[in-house]
Amino acid sequence: MQLNHYLNFQGETEAAFNFYRSVFGGEFSFIKRYSELPDAQISEKEKDYILHVSLPINPFTVLMGSDTTEQFCAPQSAPFSKGTNHYISINLDADEQAEARRLFDALSENGQVEMALENTFWGALYGAFTDQFGIRWMVNCQLETE
């Protein structure tokens, strides 16, 4: 299991992550835009926004992020606020699905689920929530590799 920080921005993810890459070095291990979503109805302004980007910092840490939009990633329970726009992301391997479910259920107890833990189009078991203490979490169990 890895625990990583996941940052949200409003249209600044690409600039921010290009900056972080210039500081930490390395290459993006994953980058997708909202325009790549299957059947997405994205505004012209948001089509080039970042859906997800991963920048490995070292063998144990990956900095990840995305842009929030009106349609996606704008939880009513925790609207975007610059400076507090992050999640703790738990990343697990395909053989850890039971652990992903256990962690999701335990950590989200008495909290507010943003997205139920379910299979996604990107080949993962994924869910997001705010825990009872106001901390935002993501659980991502990668089931398929590209």
Specify the amino acid at residue 107.
L
CB 130: neighbour CB atoms within 10 A?
19
Whole-structure pTM value = 0.73
Between CA 44 and CA 38 the distance in angstroms is 16
Place 94 in a pLDDT band, splitting at 50, 70 and 90. Answer: very high
**In this predicted structure, what is the pLDDT of residue 78?**
60
Residue 71 has pLDDT above 90, yes or no: no
Between CA 84 and CA 94 the distance in angstroms is 30
**In this predicted structure, what is the pLDDT of residue 83?**
65
Evaluate whether the domain defined by 2-142 bears CATH number 3.10.180.10.
yes
**In this predicted structure, what is the pLDDT of residue 98?**
96
Place 13 in a pLDDT band, splitting at 50, 70 and 90. Answer: very high
pLDDT digits (tens, 9 = 90+) for 29-43: 999 999 888 877 788
Place 77 in a pLDDT band, splitting at 50, 70 and 90. Answer: low
- Secondary structure of residue 29 in the 3-state scheme: coil
- CB contact at 8 A, 86 and 6: yes
